Amino acid sequence: MKASATILTLVAAMGCGGGGQTSHTVLVAPRLNLLPYGSVGLVTFSIEKAKGTLNEFATRRFEEYLLAAQSGIEVQEFSQADSTPALSGARGVPVVFLGRLKLSDVKPSGGLIGLTLPHVEATVTATLAVELRSTKTGGTLWRSSSVATEKVGQLAIVDGVPEFAAQNPNDAYGHLINRLVYDVTYDLRSTWVKQ
């Protein structure tokens, strides 16, 4: 009896705190819910003003964030060359994600490590724009973009064009890509909101 009375008193006190107004946190569903589609297509992101595998790395990271945010869906991957069949509903996908990674303001710096090993890094501004298109109508269902500036390593400048081909992309430019993908996938994640 005494324990029950104590619990009731605590519950009442929590409910009465703050002049009758209580705040609590609720989980809000993502703005873009992919569960009704079941299966979604993902075309390898294109890249502008750079060469190398940075766009493939960004596509993989986007897929990881997408699958972590929304369980119960499958992602079917398409190469850039297969973007037309993907948009036509190949493999039965009702929607397809397309993305473009654009690099600008590449400011290289570097020197030698020891006496002979060249080291090149650069401050890079990157924009990632992603959209979700219907394979039935071709219309855009959702769109998001993000811009970030970071210092990245392991790149070369070939004929004035930056080339990204790191042995370990996560070490070389993982922070830049993580930032872009995290921002772009915001609408795909559930969020906690205080009410």
Mean pLDDT to the nearest integer, 117-132:
84
CB atoms within 10 A of CB 59: 25
Contacts of residue 147, defined as CB under 8 A and 6 or more positions apart, other chains included, come to 125, 126, 127, 180
Residues 6+ apart with CB under 8 A from 28: 190, 191, 192, 193
The first and second tokens of residue 66, run together, are 């997408």
Topology classification of domain 29-188: Rossmann fold (3.40.50)
* Total-model pTM: 0.79
Predicted local distance difference test score (pLDDT) of residue 137:
96
Opening angle at CA 165, ends 143 and 79, nearest 5: 45
DSSP state of 147: E
Q: Which residues on neighbouring strands pair with residue 37, listed in sequence order?
A: none
The domain locations on the chain are 29-188
Higher pLDDT, 127 or 114: 127
What is the SS3 assignment for 81? helix
Q: What would the mean pLDDT of 129-151 be, rounded to a whole number?
A: 96
pLDDT at site 117 = 52
Q: What is the pLDDT of residues 144-191, one digit of tens each?
A: 999 999 888 777 777 777 777 767 778 878 899 999 999 999 999 988
Taking only the tens place, the pLDDT of each residue in 18-53 is 555 678 999 888 999 999 999 999 999 999 988 888
Alpha helical stretches, state H, the chain: 2-16, 54-69, 83-87, 169-184
